[in-house]
């Protein structure tokens, strides 16, 4: 009996130490005390102590441990470590890690998450949103832009320049606005309310481009010359990276420059002869200054170093002889300025390199550093802003539009996609707020940037498809009153640019996340590539045994959480969200364990097992999305009205994280490891469900009725009530319809008939004549009928108005020729 107690105590101590991540020294001391107790009770003798010493001494005496264990493992590690290109190495080292690293550790600090300050707009930023942003939204005509002139109007272009829309990232000392990342996000979200052409045009110069690169890496002369001109719109920038032969594989760009001497502006200078062929370059057709990425070679060693210098970034004025711009691509009827650019053997001085000659070959490092910030802002913000507006518009339309004398929003078939739109709108805004807040705290979150870009653009596409399904013909028929069609057409653009989503999910999120967020893997990789053998062994030894302890801890935690459901895990709140924090802590431990065992089993082959790494990345991503949602809910005061939106968003994310875990286990290539995974992580199968029908119903209902929660969901969007704002008119019509429903009920009660929300003008005249309603009520019914028809009607055209100008000219000439 005493032995069983001692054995049980030993097991309990082991589990506790592993769960709490005790150090190796604490483990050793506790086992020594247990052996001492066992010796006192005559359970073990000298042999037990000898075995303990044989194990404990090599593990705890670092000089012995390094010689007997770490040195051999380091040699083996170097052999299996996958080859890494210089571009991959720069990408891994770019940016910083933030809260996503907590999610990778298996024991997230939720208090730390909630202690991050909630981003706020300054008075200047708020005034900009209320003033110039509102005004340019009012000025913009989407039908004119997308159908008639295939561009923003000259008046809008000038207004953008005059009000420094292209200078949000430029510091005040150069004449810029120097807005926070959060403010930039809010501006883009509001602009997307009316046009993705408008938001893309503003977003790109404030993301990855000459302005950002100059501020971080430019020489003082470059900064003093270009930044003031960029701030006032005197210069229009673009950045050319993508080539026909190199898209996602940017390291393979064939564009090149040769260091040589040549004549420039009448003087012989040291420079470069550049040749390039780029495509998909936003603003290239109208740019005055071209940021160019190319590979630089120095075959004559004029710079005194290697001949292959690597990717370099330079600023090329587009008015130089030989620079070709002006032609346009036409991406899916969303006519933002985008096109190719070419140049052949164009000589420019070396000081055209951003940062001067000293930054030759440093271009890729510069790009990935800035991209980690830009990917967290522009496309995620455009996506979130678009879906916030779509949520309000689709909710309003679902209540206004009637079939079978019912609002279509009351049909369960409509409630399901409508709930997806509402729940994702809440989540997407939460993610952009948290992520831009991190940037404003000084972070350059490369992994978060990839998560935001992939998941928010994917959610945007899914939600636009859902909205189109609900609107039916109203969304299909293009015209001045269609607020959905261009978003539907243009959704694949966001999926494709700034790193195609297939690449981002399968290679980048986990590829960077596993190394950057893991507490030990990056240290192991660096030690393996360290040319100093003493330092390498010392660093590897420390990282290796930390990694072993980390894996043991997550194994124990995963087993405990699997058998207990993580119900004993402490959480920051005791309300409905409590269970979500517990499940997320469990999944965090699962992620850490599955990641370690996948790396140990597959080694360098994991890099090529893209579907395995994609699912590991999905687990990390959905944990981050759920974390952002919970933080938003808390930051906004844990409003009871908003709870259903939080519930939908978190439950959807956790269900998808569970799916990723199950798919990873079921498709793992090693059958034995597959069974081990199942036993450790999911011995009883799945337990989570996607949001219930009741939850869907509540979210769908929230979108269809004005309320404080609905207002918070659409906060910051362009909803001004005027004759040119389609969303503002929808909101007015929704409020009018709800007011008229009570009047129609009054008429129905008086007449004993069941009148629907149709032909309200005729109903008003008859009811007024019968004295069932007042004059004011009749006037409201008549006005609302026109508003209702404006919402449900679609555009139609004279056939000639749909024919392009050139086609008309050809047809006219053909008629003339025939007549002649």
Query: pLDDT of 384-402, one tens digit each?
Result: 999 999 999 999 999 999 9
Position 95 confidence tier, pLDDT thresholds 50, 70, 90: confident
**pLDDT given for residue 92 in this prediction:** 63
Beta carbons within 8 Å of 14's beta carbon, 6+ residues apart? none
Q: What is the mean pLDDT of residues 52-60?
A: 83
527-558 pLDDT tens trace: 887 888 888 888 888 888 888 888 888 889 88
- Is the distance from CB of 664 to CB of 616 less than 8 angstroms? yes
**pLDDT given for residue 460 in this prediction:** 97
Classify 432 as helix, strand or coil. Answer: helix
**pLDDT given for residue 675 in this prediction:** 92
**pLDDT given for residue 42 in this prediction:** 74
**pLDDT given for residue 813 in this prediction:** 56
Backbone angles phi, psi at 508, to 5 degrees: -85, -50
Judged against a pLDDT cut of 80, whether residue 3 lies above it is answered with: no
Position 249 confidence tier, pLDDT thresholds 50, 70, 90: confident
Paired tokens of 271: 């420079």
Q: What is the DSSP letter of 500?
A: -
Q: What is the radius of gyration, based on Cα positions, of the chain? A: 31
Position 478 confidence tier, pLDDT thresholds 50, 70, 90: very high
- Is the distance from CB of 13 to CB of 5 less than 8 angstroms? no
495-507 pLDDT tens trace: 998 888 998 888 8
Considering the entire predicted model, what is its pTM? 0.93
Q: Which long-range contacts (CB under 8 A, 24 or more apart) does 21-30 make?
A: 21/107, 21/549, 21/550, 21/553, 23/549, 24/59, 24/60, 24/545, 24/549, 25/60, 28/56, 28/59, 28/60
Residue ranges in 472-577 assigned as alpha helix (H) = 473-476, 485-496, 501-503, 509-516, 521-529, 533-564
Q: What is the mean pLDDT of residues 125-143?
A: 97
**pLDDT given for residue 26 in this prediction:** 86
Beta bridge partners of 291: 239, 315
Residue 498 annotated among the catalytic residues of the structure: yes
144-162 pLDDT tens trace: 999 999 999 999 999 999 9
Residue ranges in 609-759 assigned as alpha helix (H) = 610-635, 643-666, 671-681, 693-704, 708-713, 726-751
Judged against a pLDDT cut of 70, whether residue 84 lies above it is answered with: no
Q: How far, in Å, are 71, 263, 449, 515, 643 from residue 528 at the CA level? A: 11, 47, 28, 14, 49
Query: Any idea which of 20-24, 345-349, 405-409 has the lowest mean pLDDT?
Result: 20-24
**pLDDT given for residue 367 in this prediction:** 81
**pLDDT given for residue 809 in this prediction:** 56
- Is the distance from CB of 421 to CB of 396 less than 8 angstroms? no
- Is the distance from CB of 177 to CB of 133 less than 8 angstroms? no
Judged against a pLDDT cut of 90, whether residue 693 lies above it is answered with: yes
**pLDDT given for residue 90 in this prediction:** 64
d(CA 102, CA 447): 13
- Is the distance from CB of 614 to CB of 506 less than 8 angstroms? yes
624-678 pLDDT tens trace: 999 999 999 999 999 999 999 999 999 999 999 999 999 999 999 999 999 999 9
Judged against a pLDDT cut of 60, whether residue 820 lies above it is answered with: no
Burial class from Cβ neighbours inside 10 Å (0-12, 13-18, 19+) for residue 369 reads buried
270-309 pLDDT tens trace: 999 999 999 999 999 999 999 999 999 999 999 888 889 9
Judged against a pLDDT cut of 90, whether residue 222 lies above it is answered with: yes
Position 335 confidence tier, pLDDT thresholds 50, 70, 90: very high
d(CA 744, CA 749): 9
Judged against a pLDDT cut of 90, whether residue 448 lies above it is answered with: yes
d(CA 456, CA 448): 11
Classify 185 as helix, strand or coil. Answer: helix
**pLDDT given for residue 48 in this prediction:** 78
**pLDDT given for residue 691 in this prediction:** 97
Judged against a pLDDT cut of 90, whether residue 817 lies above it is answered with: no
| From 458, 498, 524, 731, the catalytic residue | 498
d(CA 541, CA 72): 11
Helix (H) or strand (E) segment spanning residue 317: strand 308-317
Beta bridge partners of 260: 271
Position 814 confidence tier, pLDDT thresholds 50, 70, 90: low
């Amino acid at each position: 009996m005493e032995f069983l107690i001692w054995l049980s105590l030993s097991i309990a101590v082991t589990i506790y130490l592993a769960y709490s991540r005790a150090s190796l020294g604490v483990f050793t001391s506790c086992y020594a005390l247990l052996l001492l107790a066992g010796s006192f009770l005559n359970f073990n003798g000298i042999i037990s102590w000898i075995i303990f010493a044989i194990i404990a001494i090599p593990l705890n005496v670092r000089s012995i441990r390094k010689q007997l264990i770490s040195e051999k493992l380091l040699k083996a590690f170097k052999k299996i470590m996958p080859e890494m290109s210089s571009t991959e190495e720069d990408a891994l080292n770019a940016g910083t890690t933030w809260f996503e690293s907590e999610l990778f550790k298996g024991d997230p600090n939720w208090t730390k998450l909630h202690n991050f300050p909630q981003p706020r707009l300054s008075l200047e930023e708020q005034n900009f949103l209320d003033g110039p942003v509102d005004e340019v939204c009012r000025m913009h005509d989407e039908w004119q832009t997308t159908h008639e002139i295939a561009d923003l109007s000259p008046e809008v272009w000038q207004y953008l320049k005059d009000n420094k829309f292209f200078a949000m990232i430029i510091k005040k000392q150069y004449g810029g606005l120097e807005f926070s990342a959060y403010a930039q996000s809010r501006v883009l979200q509001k602009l997307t309310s009316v046009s993705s052409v408008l938001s893309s045009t503003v977003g790109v110069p404030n993301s990855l481009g000459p302005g950002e690169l100059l501020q971080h890496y430019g020489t003082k002369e470059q900064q003093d010359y270009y930044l003031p001109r960029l701030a006032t719109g005197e210069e229009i920038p673009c950045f050319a990276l993508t080539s026909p032969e190199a898209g996602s594989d940017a390291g393979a760009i064939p564009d090149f420059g040769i260091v040589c001497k040549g004549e420039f502006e009448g003087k012989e200078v040291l420079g470069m002869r550049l040749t390039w062929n780029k495509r998909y370059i936003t603003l290239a057709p109208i740019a005055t200054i071209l940021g160019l990425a190319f590979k630089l070679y120095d075959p004559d060693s004029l710079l005194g170093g290697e001949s292959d210098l690597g990717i370099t970034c330079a600023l090329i004025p587009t008015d130089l002889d030989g620079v070709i711009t002006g032609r346009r691509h036409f991406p899916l009827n969303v006519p933002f300025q985008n096109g190719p650019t070419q140049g052949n053997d164009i000589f420019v001085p070396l000081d055209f390199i951003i940062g001067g000659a000293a930054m030759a070959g440093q271009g890729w490092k510069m790009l990935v550093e800035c991209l980690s910030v830009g990917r967290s802002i522009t496309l995620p913000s455009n996506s979130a802003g678009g879906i916030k507006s779509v949520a309000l518009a689709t909710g309003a339309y679902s209540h206004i539009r009637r079939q079978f004398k019912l609002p279509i929003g009351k049909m369960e078939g409509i409630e399901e996609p409508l709930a997806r739109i509402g729940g994702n709108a809440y989540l997407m805004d939460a993610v952009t707020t948290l992520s831009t807040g991190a940037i404003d705290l000084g972070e350059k979150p490369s992994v978060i940037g990839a998560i935001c870009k992939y998941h928010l653009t994917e959610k945007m596409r899914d939600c636009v498809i859902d909205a189109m399904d609900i609107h039916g013909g109203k969304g299909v028929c293009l015209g001045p009153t269609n607020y959905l069609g261009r978003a539907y057409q243009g959704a694949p653009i966001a999926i494709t640019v700034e790193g195609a989503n297939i690449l981002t999910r399968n290679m980048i999120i986990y590829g960077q996340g596993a190394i950057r967020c893991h507490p030990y893997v990056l240290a192991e990789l660096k030690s393996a590539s360290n040319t100093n053998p003493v330092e390498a062994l010392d660093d590897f030894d420390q990282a290796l045994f930390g990694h072993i302890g980390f894996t043991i801890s997550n194994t124990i935690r995963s087993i405990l959480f699997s058998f207990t459901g993580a119900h004993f895990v402490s959480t920051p709140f005791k309300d409905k969200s409590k269970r979500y924090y517990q499940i997320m802590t469990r999944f965090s431990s699962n992620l850490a364990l599955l990641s370690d065992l996948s790396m140990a089993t597959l080694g360098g082959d994991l890099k090529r097992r893209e579907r395995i790494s994609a699912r590991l990345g999905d687990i990390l991503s959905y944990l981050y999305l759920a974390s952002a949602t919970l933080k938003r809910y808390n930051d906004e005061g844990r409003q009871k009205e908003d709870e259903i939106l939080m519930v939908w968003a978190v439950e959807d994310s956790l269900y998808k994280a569970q799916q990723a875990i199950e798919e990873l286990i079921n498709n793992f290539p090693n059958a034995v490891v597959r069974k081990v995974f199942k036993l450790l992580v999911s011995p009883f199968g799945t337990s989570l469900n996607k949001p219930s029908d009741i939850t869907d119903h509540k979210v769908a209902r929230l979108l269809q009725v004005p309320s404080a929660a609905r207002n918070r969901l659409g906060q910051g969007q362009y909803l001004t009530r005027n004759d040119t704002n389609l969303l503002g008119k929808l909101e007015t019509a929704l409020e009018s319809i709800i007011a008229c429903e009570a009047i129609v009920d009054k008429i129905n009660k008086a007449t004993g008939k069941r009148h629907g929300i149709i032909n309200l003008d005729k109903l008003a005249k008859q009811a007024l004549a019968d004295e069932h309603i007042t004059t004011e009520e009749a006037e409201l019914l008549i006005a609302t009928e026109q508003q209702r028809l404006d919402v449900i009607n679609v555009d139609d055209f004279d056939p000639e108005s749909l024919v392009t100008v050139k086609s008309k000219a050809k047809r006219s000439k053909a008629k003339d020729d025939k007549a002649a």
